[in-house]
Every structure is written in C-alpha cells, then in structure tokens.
C-alpha cells in the first residue's frame, strides 16, 4: 500500500477547559480516496478536522500530509494542501465578486496576471460556476454559494478536500449537482456528514468517531448496514432509506 496522503496517528486533544475531545485517534487516507467521517454530535469530528490544517495544534500524537508534519513552521504549506469547505459558505465568501473570492487564496501565494486568471476560471469551471464570475456572491442562491466556496478551495490546488456537511440546506437539485461535481474531482476527499445516504452515494469508505474515539472503519455500505454499530453510535438512517435496496454503490 502506498504512503497515506493523510496520516493521523494517536491524536489526542483536550480543550483549555479540560474537555477531552479526542482520545488517540488513528486515520489513514490514501490518495484519491473519498472517505465519510460519521458520528453523533459531540463526537469530536470538528476537532479532528481542525487538526488537519493546523487550526488546532498542541495535543498528543501526530498529523502528516503527504509526509509533511502539521506543525507551526509548515502551516502555510499545509493549508494549501488541505482545503476545508465549511458548512456555511458565507464563512468563506467575503469579497465583492465571485472572481475576487476565488482569486484571494492564490493571490496570497503570489500568483498574478494571466496565471491567476487561469487558476480562477479553472476552479469555477470545475464547479460549473464560471458564468457567474463577476456576480456578487450575495446575489447567488445558497447552493451556488456553496459551489463557489468549493471553488475558492480548489483554486489553491489542494491535495485533500475536507467538506463539512456539504449537503446541508441544499434543495434536491443542488444536492445532486454538488454530488456530480464531487465525483468529478481528481482530489482526495474527507466528508464530514450526518447525511448518511449522501455518504453512501459519494464515499466508498466510512469511519465512525464517537466520544473522541474511532470505533469503525470500513466500507460505507457495511457500516450503514451494521445495525448494532449504528444503534450503539446514535447513527440513524432516514425513514424509508435502506442501503440494502441500493442497486449500485460508489467506487
């Protein structure tokens, strides 16, 4: 097996108030994988994600991205390699136009002129939003803003795309469009979600975090059809949804 593009070993972390959020978490993700990170509220999923690009540091254990340790001196390069798309796109869109929002990160890396323009257009084309390049983000629908938020991260050419609840608040058409986009991307994906059908649709592999401990790691179908595991970790499928009836699974 190749070296993991994301390698988390023995990660433990407590907040200043003494709350222990992670207890020796191991997670290894290989290039090109799409992995769902599942677990109930308060499981430690956000704490884990914030360690992946150095927003949180200082706990026990280690995180490396393509062999580069996530430590203070490497933070700038780590944040280029690991792009996080937050649940609310308005947390990432703050410039007057879509073009300026998508250009912000690459411009801070020193890209300019035609190279910067090409990077911006390319990222917007990947998410089907190039025609909106000169629109103010606040004039777009929620689903369109989420796609632009994804483009702001893709413009940095990350190795790992981390998505926090990507399907939340999307109508069915926007949800499907985003799924098609995510499937088309040539990037490693870690998707934090409570949307279990979306996890099954997009991610062949799932890991389950509960009370700061990794309790399962396997095929998403196997996780979602393990009734005892699901019940023990407060994971519930939507009414009427049964993975056993799905004709085809992601690859």
CATH number for the domain including 85?
Answer: 3.40.50.300
pLDDT band at residue 251 under the 50/70/90 scheme = low
Domain that holds residue 75: 6-92+160-245
pTM: 0.91
**Confidence check: pLDDT of 248 > 70:** no
Q: Quick one: which of 187, 154, 161, 158 has its CA closest to 77?
A: 158
Helices 142-154 + 113-126 axis angle, to 10 = 130
Helix (H, G, I), strand (E, B) or coil at 87: coil
Tell me the CA end-to-end span of the chain in Å, nearest whole number. Answer: 18
Tell whether 52 is covered by a domain.
Answer: yes
C-alpha dihedral sign at 147, 65, 37, 29:
positive
Q: How far apart are CA 45 and CA 67, in angstroms?
A: 22
pLDDT band at residue 246 under the 50/70/90 scheme = confident
Tell whether 152 is covered by a domain.
Answer: no
Q: How far apart are CA 200 and CA 223, in angstroms?
A: 10
Q: Structurally, how many domains does the chain consist of?
A: 1
């Amino acid at each position: 097996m190749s070296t993991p593009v994301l390698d988390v070993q023995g990660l433990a972390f407590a907040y200043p108030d003494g709350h222990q959020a992670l207890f020796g978490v191991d997670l290894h993700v290989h290039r090109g994988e799409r992995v769902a990170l599942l677990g109930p509220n308060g499981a430690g999923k956000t704490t884990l994600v914030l360690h992946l690009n150095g927003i949180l540091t200082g706990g026990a254990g280690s995180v490396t991205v393509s062999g580069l340790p996530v430590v203070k001196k490497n933070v700038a390069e780590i944040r280029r390699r690991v792009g996080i798309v937050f649940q609310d796109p308005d947390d990432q869109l703050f410039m007057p136009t879509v073009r300026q929002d998508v250009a912000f990160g690459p411009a801070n890396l020193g890209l300019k002129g035609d190279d910067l323009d090409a990077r911006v257009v390319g990222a917007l084309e990947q998410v089907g939003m190039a025609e909106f390049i000169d629109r103010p983000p606040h004039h777009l629908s929620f689903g369109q803003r989420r796609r632009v938020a994804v483009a702001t991260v893709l413009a940095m050419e990350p190795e790992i795309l981390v998505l926090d609840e990507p399907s939340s608040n999307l109508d069915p058409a926007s949800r499907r469009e985003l799924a098609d986009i995510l499937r088309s991307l040539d990037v490693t994906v870690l998707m934090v979600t409570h949307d279990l059908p979306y996890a099954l649709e997009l991610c062949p592999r799932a890991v389950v975090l509960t009370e700061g401990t990794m309790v399962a790691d396997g095929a998403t179908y196997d996780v979602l059809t393990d009734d005892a595991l699901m019940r023990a970790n407060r994971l519930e499928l939507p009414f009427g949804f049964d993975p056993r009836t799905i004709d085809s699974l992601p690859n």
